[in-house]
Amino acid sequence: MKTYTSFDIDADYKNLHNRFPNHYERPVIGITGNFSEGNLMLAPGYYTSILKAGAVPFIIPPFDDYNILINLLDSLDGLLLTGGGDINPLFLHEEPIRELHGINPYRDRQELMITRLAANRQIPILGICRGIQVMNAAFGGTLYQDIHVQMEGTRIKHDQDLDRAYASHTVKIEKDSTLARIMKTDTLAVNSFHHQAVKEPAPGFRISARATDGVVEAIESSEFKSMLGVQWHPECFIMNNDECMMPLFDWLIQEAKSFRQAKAFHRTVLTLDSHCDTPMFFDQNINFATRDPKIKVDLHKMNEGRQDATIMVAYIPQKERTDEALLAATAKADQLLNEIEKMVALNCTAVDIAYTPADLYRLKHAGKKAIMLGIENGYAIGKDISNVERFRKRGVVYMTLCHNGNNDICGSARYNDENLGVSEFGESVIREMNRVGMMVDLSHGGEKSFYDALEISRMPIVCSHSSCRALCDHPRNLTDEQLKAIARKGGVVQVCMYEGFLRKEGKATVYDAIEHLHHMVNIMGIEHVGIGTDFDGDGGVIGCNDSSELINLTRKLLYERYSDKDMQLIWGGNFLRVMEEVQKGSLLDTDQHIG
Residues in a beta bridge with 30: 58, 79
Report the alpha-carbon distance of residue 117 to residue 66 in Å, rounded: 10
pTM of the entire structure?
A: 0.94
Read off the pLDDT of each residue in 330-343 and give the average, rounded to a whole number: 98
**DSSP 8-state code for residue 226:** S
Computed on alpha carbons and rounded to an integer, the radius of gyration of the chain in Å comes to 28
Residue pair 255/124 in contact by the 8 Å Cβ criterion? yes
pLDDT of residue 1: 46
pLDDT of residue 39: 84
Distances (CA, A) of 491 to 137, 372, 411, 458, 576: 48, 19, 20, 11, 11
pLDDT of residue 191: 95
Question: What pLDDT band is residue 24 in, cutting at 50, 70 and 90?
Answer: low
pLDDT of residue 74: 93
Asked whether residue 589 carries a pLDDT value surpassing 90, the answer given is no
The least confident of 32-46, 164-178, 319-333 is 32-46
- Cβ atoms within 10 A of the Cβ of 469, count? 20
Q: What is the pLDDT of residues 272-328, one digit of tens each?
A: 999 999 999 999 999 999 999 999 999 999 999 999 999 999 999 999 999 999 999
CB burial readout 273-305, b (16+ within 10 A) else e = bbbbbbbbbbeeebebeeebeebbbbbebbbbb
Mean pLDDT of the chain: 94
Residue pair 378/361 in contact by the 8 Å Cβ criterion? no
pLDDT of residue 161: 85
Read off the pLDDT of each residue in 478-482 and give the average, rounded to a whole number: 98
Q: What is the pLDDT of residues 133-169, one digit of tens each?
A: 999 999 999 999 999 999 999 999 998 888 888 999 9
Asked whether residue 2 carries a pLDDT value surpassing 60, the answer given is no
The residue among 39 and 568 whose pLDDT is bigger is: 568
Residue type, 39: N
Report the alpha-carbon distance of residue 122 to residue 133 in Å, rounded: 19
Q: What is the pLDDT of residues 222-269, one digit of tens each?
A: 999 999 999 999 999 999 999 999 999 999 999 999 999 999 999 999
Report the alpha-carbon distance of residue 422 to residue 402 in Å, rounded: 10
pLDDT of residue 47: 96
Question: What pLDDT band is residue 537 in, cutting at 50, 70 and 90?
Answer: very high
pLDDT of residue 104: 83
